[in-house]
A and B are shown apart, each in its own frame.
Chain A
Amino acid sequence: MGKAFGRCQLLSLASLALPWTGALVVSALLLLPVGLGFPLLRPAAALLRRRADRQRARVGGWTGLAFPPPAPLPATARAILGDAGFWRDLRWAWLEPLTGGLLATVSPALFWYGVFGALVQPFVWRRLGDGNWYAFVLVDSPGSMRDAVLLGLAFVAGALFLAPTTLAGHARWSRWALGAPSRVELVRRIEQLTGSRAEALDAQAVELRRIERDLHDGAQARLVALGMSLDEATRLLDTDPARARVLLAEVRAASERALRDLRELVHGILPPVLADRGLGDAIRSLALDSFLDVEVDVALPPGRLPAPVESAAYFAIAELLANAAKHADAREVRIALSHTAGILRVTVTDDGHGGADSARGAGLLGVGRRLGAFDGTLALDSPPGGPTLAILEIPCASSSPKTSSCSGTG
C-alpha cells in the first residue's frame, strides 16, 4: 500500500513535468514552416522518447506488463513526422497529465489534504479565523477541530487504501497509450520470421549440397570402381584365376566401404533410432555411444514431437555433447528433457572447464541457427573453470501449423 502510494506520488510529479516536453515538441512542430523547427524537432522528439521510455520501463517494471518498444526514432525531421511511434509519444505527452497523471494524483492529493487536516489544522485553525472550512467541516471550535483531525486521518487512510487501485488503472492506461501499435509489432515479427526462414532455407540448401557431394564422392564413386573391378575380374577369370580372386576380394571390400559411407550419410541426415523411437530413445542411444558418463532424464509426454523439432533438438544435443567431450574435457554429463506448456526444454550440464561462448564456435552458432528456425533459443552459462550449463528451448506449438501441440503423434 505504502509502496503503491509512493509510486502514485512519483507518477503525479512526473506528469507535472511532462507538459513542458510536449510543449517543446509542439513548438518545434509550429516552427517547421519557418524552417527553425527542422533542427529543433529531432532533439525535442528524442527528449520526448526518453521520457516515454522511462515511463515504459517504470510501469513495466512495477506491473510486469510487457511494453514492446516502438521502432527507433528516425534520424531526420521529415521521417519523424511520418513515424507512428513519434505521434504516439506526443499524444501520450498531452494526455498523460490530464488522464493518467490525474488518476495517479488522486491518491497523493487526498493524502496530503488528509495530512493538512490531521497535523496542521490543530495548530493554525485559531489564526485562520472565520470561514475556515476543512472539506465540509467549519473549523471554529475545539470540537469541530477534532472532527477535522478525524476526517484528515480518514482521508490519509483512504488515500493509502486507494493507491493500488489507481496505480493499476494508470498501468492499464499507460499500456494503451505507450504500447507499440500492433502493426509495428507485426512488421517486426514478419521481419524476424523472414530472416529465420531465409536462414533455414540456406541451411537446408547447404545440407542438400553436402548430401549430394557425399553421395557423389563416396558411395557413387566406390560403386563405379566396383563395377570396373568386376569387369576386370570377369576378363581375368580364364587366364589368371588367382588375380581374379584378389580382385573379387577387393570388390567385396569396396562394397562394404560403400555401405559404410551410405550408413554414415543416412545417420547424418536422420539417425535411424530417432526415426524409429523418437527423441527420448535417440538421446539415450547418443548417451550410450558417448565416451563420457552421460545420465539421461527424459520426462516427455507419450507420443512423438513434430519431426523437425525432434531433429533440431537431437542434433543440438549431439553438438553440445561433442563439445563437452572435445573442448571442455568433461567426464560427466547430465541431459534432461522435459515438455511443459508447449515448450520442449532441454538442459545439458557437464563438469568440464567451461569457457564456451555461443557467439563463437561454428558448432554453437549452427545450433543457434538451427533452433532459430523454430523460434527456439539456446542459453549458455559457461564461466571459465566450469561447469557448463546449456538450456535449449523450442516452442513446439509454433513449429508446424499442422501440429497444434508438442504431444501430437507425428
Chain B
Amino acid sequence: MRVVLAEDLFLLRDGLSRTLTEHGFEVVAAVDNGPSLRRALREERPDVAVIDIRLPPDFTDEGLRAALEARRERPGLPVLILSQYVDQLYAQELLAGGEGAVGYLLKDRVTHTAQFVDAVRTVAAGGTVLDPQVVARLLARGEARGTTAALTPREHEVLRLMAEGRSNAAIGQALHVSESAVAKHTAGIFAKLRIEPSADDNRRVLAVLAYLRR
C-alpha cells in the first residue's frame, strides 16, 4: 500500500516512516512542508496520506488545507490527519464531505504502534477513525443535552467505540462480547437514536456524529 507522509519534524517523520515500512506499507514520499505535500499528493496518487496538520511554510493548518484540497480534486482520497491537539472544528471540516476515508488522531496515538497502523489501514479501506478525545467530547455533549440519555451504559460504550471507527468484531473484542451481541447493541442504538441502520461502517459513524453534533 502506497503512503504519502507529511511531517515537518525529522525525528517524527523518520519514526513514522520506519513504523509504516515495518508494517508493510510503501512510503512513496516523505515531505516536510505544504507545497511539497500538494505536489506529492498530485503526482504520487497514494492509497493513503498521513499528514501532520501544522506544516511549514506558515505553520498553521497547512496540512489540513492541503488534504481538503486534494480530496476536492480526488473525492474519497484516504487521509489520516495527525495533530498535537484535536479540534472539533477540524473534525467537522474533515467529515463534512461525507465520503469517509478520513482519520483525525492525536500524535500521541502513534506511540501505540498497533493502533496507529490499524487506523491507517481503516482509513485506507474507506473507514473513518476519530480520536477518542473527539469522540469523548461529542458523547459528553450529547449526554449534557440528553440526546444519548436513553442509551444503556453498554450501548454507550459500543457507541463510543463505533465512533472511533472500530468494526463490530473489534468492538466485540474490546468489550469481551460476541460479534452478534455487538450487532444487537448497534441495532438498539440506531433505533433509539432514530438512525437508519446500514451495512456501511463509515456511514454509521457519520450518522452518529451528525446526530451528536446537532
Tell me the bound Cα distance from A49 to B149 in angstroms.
68
0/1 string, B137-153, CB within 8 A of A gives 1: 10011001100000000
Measured CB to CB, the closest approach of chain B to A146, in angstroms, equals 85
Q: Is the CB of B92 within 8 A of A288?
A: yes
Q: Is the CB of A272 within 8 A of B145?
A: no
Residue of B nearest to A282 (CB): B89
Measured CB to CB, the closest approach of chain B to A273, in angstroms, equals 5
A289 and B85 in contact, given A252-B111, A256-B108 (Cβ under 8 angstroms)? no
A276 within 8 A of B: yes
0/1 string, B79-100, CB within 8 A of A gives 1: 0000011011110100000000
Q: Is the CB of A266 within 8 A of B85?
A: yes
Collect the chain A residues with CB atoms within 8 Å of residue B87's CB.
272-273, 285
Q: Is the CB of B60 within 8 A of A289?
A: no
Collect the chain B residues with CB atoms within 8 Å of residue A266's CB.
84-85
Collect the chain A residues with CB atoms within 8 Å of residue B213's CB.
288
B54 within 8 A of A: yes
Q: Is the CB of A276 within 8 A of B145?
A: no
Q: Is the CB of A273 within 8 A of B89?
A: yes
Measured CB to CB, the closest approach of chain A to B59, in angstroms, equals 8
Q: Is the CB of A272 within 8 A of B84?
A: yes
Collect the chain A residues with CB atoms within 8 Å of residue B144's CB.
291
Q: Is the CB of A291 within 8 A of B145?
A: yes
Tell me the bound Cα distance from A39 to B150 in angstroms.
82
Determine which of B60, B84, B141, B145 lies in contact with A277 in the assembled complex, contact meaning CB atoms within 8 Å. B60
Collect the chain B residues with CB atoms within 8 Å of residue A276's CB.
54, 60-61
Determine which of B84, B90, B111, B141 lies in contact with A255 in the assembled complex, contact meaning CB atoms within 8 Å. B111
Residue of A nearest to B143 (CB): A291
Collect the chain B residues with CB atoms within 8 Å of residue A289's CB.
88, 137
Q: Is the CB of B89 within 8 A of A263?
A: no
Q: Which applies to chain A's interface (DSSP): helix, strand, loop or mixed?
A: helix
Collect the chain A residues with CB atoms within 8 Å of residue B90's CB.
273
Q: Which applies to chain B's interface (DSSP): helix, strand, loop or mixed?
A: helix
Tell me the bound Cα distance from A267 to B87 in angstroms.
11
Residue of A nearest to B84 (CB): A263
A275 within 8 A of B: yes
Tell me the bound Cα distance from A276 to B85 in angstroms.
12
Q: Is the CB of B85 within 8 A of A263?
A: yes
Collect the chain B residues with CB atoms within 8 Å of residue A256's CB.
108, 111
Q: Is the CB of A284 within 8 A of B108?
A: no
Measured CB to CB, the closest approach of chain A to B58, in angstroms, equals 9
Collect the chain B residues with CB atoms within 8 Å of residue A291's CB.
140-141, 144-145
Q: Is the CB of B85 within 8 A of A288?
A: no
Measured CB to CB, the closest approach of chain B to A321, in angstroms, equals 14
A259 within 8 A of B: yes
Collect the chain B residues with CB atoms within 8 Å of residue A281's CB.
89
Interface centre among B54, B84, B89, B144 (most CB of A within 10 A): B89
Determine which of A255, A272, A277 lies in contact with B85 in the assembled complex, contact meaning CB atoms within 8 Å. A272
Tell me the bound Cα distance from A293 to B89 in angstroms.
15
Collect the chain A residues with CB atoms within 8 Å of residue B92's CB.
288
0/1 string, B26-61, CB within 8 A of A gives 1: 000000000000000000000000000010000011
24 sampled A-B residue pairs with Cβ under 8 A: A256-B108, A256-B111, A263-B84, A263-B85, A272-B54, A272-B84, A272-B85, A273-B87, A273-B89, A275-B60, A276-B54, A276-B61, A277-B61, A277-B89, A281-B89, A285-B87, A285-B89, A288-B88, A288-B89, A288-B213, A289-B137, A291-B140, A291-B141, A291-B145
Q: Hey, which bits of chain B sit against chain A, CB under 8 A?
A: 54, 60-61, 84-85, 87-90, 92, 108, 111, 137, 140-141, 144-145, 213
If A260-B108, A288-B92 are given as contacts, then 12 extra A-B residue pairs at C-beta distance below 8 Å, sorted by A number, are A255-B111, A256-B108, A272-B87, A273-B90, A275-B60, A276-B54, A285-B87, A285-B88, A285-B89, A291-B140, A291-B141, A293-B145
